[in-house]
């Protein structure tokens, strides 16, 4: 008999919470039944951004944000249930990724997500599973990306080379293989994080809808060449990254002249950095033919997608909507699936993606 799970995702774009209602049958096959999105208020987004970039963090502020997010996640779930006329007793469990505040790759890796799962379980009355990354880290992995295991389960094609590219704050790719042991994924570099930060600073809007502003600018090759020298791009997988490396102050320290250029030109160059770093990563470690399906908020940036296609002419680009899951809901669906895996004693990581010693059951369980 099919069982219902809810997945929650709030990514490095810091835009809000995606919630997915997912039905999973006895064979582990999943189907999206409904979804809900709850945007962050500007004050919360600013607080989360500031604490994620701060070199020193006040414990009281961190604890307060942890509780604020836990309550907000619960609110999002209750809205989802009301929207589709379900009750808490209909749901087996919630899988919550949490909001990443700090992520440090190996060596000495750690990853911190907040959004109190105790509060989620208490306020919704639903068993909640969270803290998915740290068991993988304990086994020697990066703790990220975790979604490739889900991609392997739902998006594999036995006839064509296929890759899944998530364009959130950070871009990550899954290179699918008919042999699950050979499927792997990794973070390519920045997707929306840098461009959104630049747009919010100069236009006071959350993002450049469709890439209209970026399209009006001119790519500055000297800037781009310097940025592409950042060592992360040449590092071999397994690897992961975040805003700790890819943020505007880091780029401004590297290329202070960027603040003397037209702001539209800098934005166009930031988009080109995403497109080129993606194409170079795929050419080095992925398939250079077949299909590339996009998900995440960046999939809606028409200009960005055009620039990616410009650099990957031999690959057909589509969106995961074509495969049955809306681009904005893939990661939320993944954490519903990961919750199912945890409760059923099944592993949730791909060791050759994270670098862990082996497959591990992920997450901590907070009973209703």
Annotated binding residues for ATP, written as ranges, equal 11-18
Helix (H, G, I), strand (E, B) or coil at 82: helix
Cis peptide before 107 (omega within 30 of 0): yes
Strand-strand pairing, 16-24 and 30-39: antiparallel
- Phi, psi of 45, rounded to the nearest 5 degrees: -60, -45
- Asked if 239 and 232 touch (Cβ cutoff 8 Å), the reply is yes
Q: Which residues contact 316 (CB under 8 A, 6 or more apart)?
A: 290, 291, 292
Burial degree of 71 (CB within 10 A; 0-12, 13-18, 19+): middle
Distance CA 205, CA 196 (A): 8
Q: What is the Cα 22 distance to its own chain's centre?
A: 18
Q: Detail the residues annotated as belonging to a binding site.
A: 11-18
Candidates 76, 350, 102, 365; CA nearest to 238 is 350
Residues composing the chain: 368
Token couple for 285: 């470690």
Distance CA 287, CA 281 (A): 10
Helix (H, G, I), strand (E, B) or coil at 314: coil
Distance CA 269, CA 285 (A): 24
DSSP state, residue 40: P
Q: How many CB atoms lie within 10 A of CB 349?
A: 29
């Amino acid at each position: 008999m099919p069982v219902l799970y809810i997945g929650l995702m709030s990514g490095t774009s810091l835009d809000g919470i995606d919630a997915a209602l997912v039905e999973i049958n006895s064979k582990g096959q999943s189907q999206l039944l409904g979804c809900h999105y709850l945007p962050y208020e500007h004050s919360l987004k600013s607080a989360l951004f500031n604490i994620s970039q701060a070199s020193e963090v006040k414990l009281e502020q961190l604890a307060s944000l942890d509780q604020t997010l836990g309550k907000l996640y619960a609110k999002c779930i209750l809205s989802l249930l009301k929207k589709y006329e379900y009750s808490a007793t209909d749901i087996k469990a919630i899988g919550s990724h949490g909001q990443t505040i700090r992520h440090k790759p190996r060596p000495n890796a750690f990853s911190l997500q907040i959004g109190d799962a105790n509060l989620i379980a208490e306020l919704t009355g639903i068993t909640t599973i969270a803290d998915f990354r740290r068991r993988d880290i304990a086994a020697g992995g990066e703790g990220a990306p975790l979604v490739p295991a889900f991609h392997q389960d739902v998006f594999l094609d036995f006839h064509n080379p296929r890759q899944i590219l998530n364009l959130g704050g950070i871009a990550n790719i899954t290179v699918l293989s008919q042999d699950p042991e050979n499927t792997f994924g990794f973070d390519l570099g920045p997707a929306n994080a840098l461009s959104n930060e630049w747009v919010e600073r100069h236009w006071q809007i959350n993002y450049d809808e469709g890439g209209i502003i970026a399209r009006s600018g001119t790519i500055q090759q000297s800037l781009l060449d310097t940025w592409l020298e950042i060592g992360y791009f040449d590092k071999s997988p397994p690897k992961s990254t975040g805003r700790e490396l890819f943020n505007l102050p880091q780029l401004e320290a590297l290329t202070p002249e960027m603040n003397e250029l037209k702001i539209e030109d800098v934005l166009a160059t930031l988009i080109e950095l995403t497109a080129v770093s993606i194409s170079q990563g795929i050419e080095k470690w992925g398939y250079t033919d077949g299909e590339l399906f996009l998900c995440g908020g960046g999939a809606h940036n028409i200009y960005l997608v055009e620039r990616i296609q410009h650099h990957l002419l031999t690959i057909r680009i589509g969106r995961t909507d074509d495969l049955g899951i809306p681009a904005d809901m893939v990661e939320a669906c993944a954490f519903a699936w990961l919750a199912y895996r945890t409760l059923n004693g099944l592993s949730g990581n791909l060791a050759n993606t994270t670098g862990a010693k082996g497959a591990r059951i992920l997450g901590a369980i907070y009973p209703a």
